[in-house]
Amino acid sequence: MTKLEQVLNPAAVLTTGDRNGGSRSDHLPTEVKSPPAEARYTDTRPTRRGFLATSAAAGAIGLFRLGAPSDAQASGISPQPAKPRAATGDNAIRPFHIYVPEADLVDLRRRIAATRWPDKETVNDESQGIRLAEMQALVYYWGNGYNWRNIEAKLNALPEFVTTIDGVDIQFIHVCSREPNALPLILTHGWPGSPLEFLKVIGPLTDPVAHGGRAQDAFDVVIPAIPGYGFSGKPTDPGWNPDRVARAWDVLMKRLGYTRYVSQGGDHGSVISDALARQAPPGLLAIHLTMPATIPANLVKGINSGDPAPTELTAPELRAYNALSTFFGRNAAYGAMMVTRPQTIGYALVDSPSGLAAFTYEKIAEWTDSDGHPESVIGRDEILDDITLYWLTNSGASSSRFYWENNNNNFSAAAQKTNQIKVPVAITVFPGEIYRAPESWSRQAYPSLYYFHEVAKGGHFAAWEQPEIFSIEMRAAFKSLR
């Protein structure tokens, strides 16, 4: 993790009473309950008395550097340095705190200002890619108006942790509901998203009463970063494919003390949730998908080749066929690059902020339910939060490698072996997704499908775009499993 400080964040492990009084987004929970008693946080958490003693000692001798105290205060948390205790093996769960050195932000702005722009596109639409004027406006704001410290403070106001699984550090957010029977839920992001996609649903999921739901609808929420993404570690050996990540997710949930849980994902998260369901570890109750793999085997070749649709398809099936054919024929070059040469594209993504922004913003614009204007549903600063996270963590290449590891058709039922899934499956179709999975294909692909619903708004980044609808879907999809 280049130049990023990971330090103990005592506020993340204090009781609810210690955390009250901070300023929070309307979507964040009003109260954060301590993790389950059986969770093994005691590997690194000092006692209250010991914490105060080590804090005073560390402050007196200056052992720890704390970054940007003003940002921590703005988030309602006042982190103090605490001397870390020796972990008892690799199962330790350590509190996590984010501080990006100011020099890194200065360097980012310098690079943005030095952007060498290409000549203007020769068409009046996006058929050649994001238009020059649109990118120049976004990047100018990135270098002159955007402030990373805002999202840094918001993240540090949440309980963040890191633990080592299978030799790689997994960084995650873990917010427990105040409701005693909350259902544990692990949420998995994709590309070009990140755990930031889920920040606006933490409140509605963990505190449903405050957001129009019922106490019995509550979830405990775990939001990990896929290895190679965000603040998780970067694998140094091959093999971190969806199956390996899925196994790590089960280890994480069990390490947190959960004996039963559900999984949700879109994009990579759907593929990982599929893998988890195929493995069917004890305690996994069900999965929920927003980008399911439903293409029937007999249609894969025609879609990939751009062949005309078979005449016997129903209207929803024809719509899906044509959307997927257009995607593979005109809009999937990004994936082909990452599947085949992640290291090569990585040089551009980690060296040029404007190149990274263009590469990722294009897909955010294309895949949101926003008529090509994602700021209208997500917000410009939130989009730049995500892009900046990729930049500051130097994860352009490491995140691309997940495509190389997966190297599969994420929409094909046969490729994803969905017929092997026996765990109950729920699907919500958002209209702005890359394709709208037809119910007929979905039931054929997933024999254990028990919930299928189409909603009116939202796209590929469902929780990010429509947090209220997404939260309602989580409650409805998993209601029967409580």
Report angle CA 298, 245, 454 to the nearest 5 degrees: 50
Cβ-Cβ contacts under 8 Å for 358 (sequence gap 6 or more): 129, 130, 135
Considering the candidates 174, 189, 211, 460, report the single residue annotated as catalytic: 460
Q: What is the DSSP letter of 314?
A: -
Tokens of 318: 């024809």
Cβ-Cβ contacts under 8 Å for 430 (sequence gap 6 or more): 290, 369, 455, 457, 458, 459, 460, 462, 465, 466, 469
Report angle CA 94, 96, 100 to the nearest 5 degrees: 150
For 173-226, the DSSP string reads EEEB-SSTTPEEEEEE--SS--GGGGHHHHHHHH-GGGGT--GGG-EEEEEEPP
Q: Is 403 a catalytic residue?
A: yes
Alpha carbon distances (Å) from 203 to 69, 175, 214, 405, 476: 25, 9, 13, 34, 17
Q: Is 146 a catalytic residue?
A: no
CB 407 within 8 A of CB 339: yes
Residue count (the chain): 482
Cβ-Cβ contacts under 8 Å for 102 (sequence gap 6 or more): 68
CA proximity to 286, closest of 40, 469, 451, 85 = 451
Considering the candidates 71, 169, 217, 267, report the single residue annotated as catalytic: 267
Tokens of 52: 């105060």
Q: Is 99 a catalytic residue?
A: no
Phi, psi of 394 (to 5 degrees): 55, 45
Q: Tokens 């509550």 — which residue?
A: 218
Torsion, Cα of 126, 357, 142, 351 (10° steps): -140
Considering the candidates 258, 403, 435, 451, report the single residue annotated as catalytic: 403
Catalytic residues: 267, 403, 460
